[in-house]
Structure 1
């Protein structure tokens, strides 16, 4: 059982999970059964979410970028629609906000790509901020409704509208998105500084998430079978990213750059806070 593992063994397992190693790979490296690794990962992910809910409040952010990244549970949506015996399966989206200056991820959410999820995500973001902020997003319509609802006009908001090339019959589209042929910035609410309207940092964060969270790697066979496991994996990633991982741009952990903690935590610190 995971609760009889030594702190050193737990730290080794959590470090490997946070760096994107597979469950079976960690099983081979640590000689700990994959079920025990999974249970530890779920406990850590749930505990990390509680830590972030406690620590990431009253933030002094000024520039926020938001985006969402696709994944799936059990099977892709087209297949899930044909197999009704699965209670929760198909597409799942991770909604991400990032502070463009400190690189802190103040909040994330996991769910469908709906207006309801957008409202919950943006409401949670607004509750964590101390001052009026500038927000940037893509042109997904749900963001405007959610930001108007959560901030009631007390925000500067601009969006990025990307113009995509229409693929011809011979274009390869299976794994690659359509080619971007133009980008247009539009003010939406308040008085945003249009030179700072961007989604570059949050899109780079999408890449970081895919590299460090095995379940979101492209063309992977390591997808989650349960939504609870998926949420736990993403929660562990963002606790590790915010509190432990040194970001090259700010030369420290994002939570230190944002003034949330005084010094970067080790993985052992994170394990101790969750497991006691």
Structure 2
């Protein structure tokens, strides 16, 4: 006699297993089954997707972790685990999907923050390398406003080279790149992008040393365009969009707000949150200059045809 195997077509929910996966009971045979539909956006976390999305939306609109805890009743440790899990997924997602972009003009810049304490304090107290200043490097397409690549780390040549490697992998065709006067770009950009790049640096001259001011840069008294490689068009040598992006990053991320204790306590979590923001900015957040405010940068760059929801982003990054 051949037994007929039940296909478990009629299922009803029956709690969750030890790892938080949804368990079902088959109405035909009574068996308990667990079904996995594709990747798991939240990994092995037991947090409900709906509540995770609310937490993320709050974080991405500039709220602190403890404020999210008070509003959603999700423990702050769970929120930190959520950021770390999704940040790693979003970073991989961006590197795998932001490719083949034909960006005519690209602007580069770095934004400062700190983890635990500032560099001066970390040096005085002999803290490890995970404490102190943290820099996030951004490359933005001046036309679509797409963040083509990002990298969080130190403000040094090693981090810069990895950032530029990602930028080279994300773009195709001839492009013009503009950066500030930071030395890591001088030879790094031509080395990473080769003969297809026209590169210039926009050197800013200040009224005094920036070290003389506490919370704002010294007054700019002039700028100088320095062609470095190829034949850059001086009319399009600018860092205005990259500097405006820095404002958006600070406005959307509480951990970058100055003069508060909301700063990052972990460099790893800081990097993860910036990866989540970059994916959100590219795919979910409508940009005022893209399609009269109806498109995201990813739509303007031709990588998608609609505005993504946060849930759709998490499922794509799983």
Which of 201, 207, 221 is residue 241 of structure 2 equivalent to? 201
How far is 1:152 from its partner?
2.6
How far is 1:46 from its partner?
1.1
CA distance in 2, matches of 1:119, 1:245: 28
Higher alpha-carbon deviation: 218-227 or 72-81: 218-227
Which of 233, 236, 261 is residue 221 of structure 1 equivalent to? 261
The residue number in structure 1 matching 2:47 is 5
CA distance in 2, matches of 1:149, 1:266: 38
Task: Within 5 Å, give how 1:107-146 maps onto structure 2.
Answer: 107-146=149-188
CA distance in 2, matches of 1:6, 1:123: 37
How far is 1:20 from its partner?
1.4
Would you say the 8 A contact 1:10–1:271 is kept in 2? no
Number of equivalent positions: 273
The residue number in structure 2 matching 1:253 is 296
* Partner deviation per Cα, 1:107-132 (whole Å, 9 max, x = no partner): 10111111222222112211211111
Higher alpha-carbon deviation: 139-148 or 85-94: 85-94
CA distance in 1, matches of 2:80, 2:316: 19
The structure showing larger relative contact order (alpha-carbon pairs under 8 Å, at least 6 residues apart) is: 1
CA distance in 1, matches of 2:159, 2:52: 33
* Partner deviation per Cα, 1:102-159 (whole Å, 9 max, x = no partner): 0000110111111222222112211211111100011112101101211233311111
Task: Within 5 Å, give how 1:51-130 maps onto structure 2.
Answer: 51-130=93-172
The residue number in structure 2 matching 1:268 is 311
Higher alpha-carbon deviation: 219-228 or 106-115: 219-228
Is residue 214 of structure 2 the alignment partner of residue 174 of structure 1? Answer: yes
Please give the TM-score of this superposition, normalised by the length of structure 2. Answer: 0.82
CA distance in 1, matches of 2:129, 2:224: 41
Change (3 A) 1:256 1:125: same
Higher alpha-carbon deviation: 62-71 or 150-159: 150-159
Which of 271, 274, 280 is residue 240 of structure 1 equivalent to? 280
The residue number in structure 1 matching 2:231 is 191
CA distance in 2, matches of 1:89, 1:137: 27
CA distance in 2, matches of 1:20, 1:100: 25
Higher alpha-carbon deviation: 121-130 or 131-140: 121-130
User: Greater share of helix residues, 1 or 2?
Assistant: 1
CA distance in 1, matches of 2:78, 2:316: 19
What root-mean-square deviation, in Å, do the aligned CA atoms of Structure 1 and Structure 2 show? Answer: 1.8
How far is 1:87 from its partner?
4.9
* Unaligned 5+ runs, structure 1: none
CA distance in 2, matches of 1:88, 1:175: 23
CA distance in 1, matches of 2:178, 2:212: 31
Please give the TM-score of this superposition, normalised by the length of structure 1. Answer: 0.94
Would you say the 8 A contact 2:107–2:142 is kept in 1? yes
Higher alpha-carbon deviation: 130-139 or 264-273: 264-273
* Unaligned 5+ runs, structure 2: 1-19, 21-41
CA distance in 1, matches of 2:258, 2:50: 31
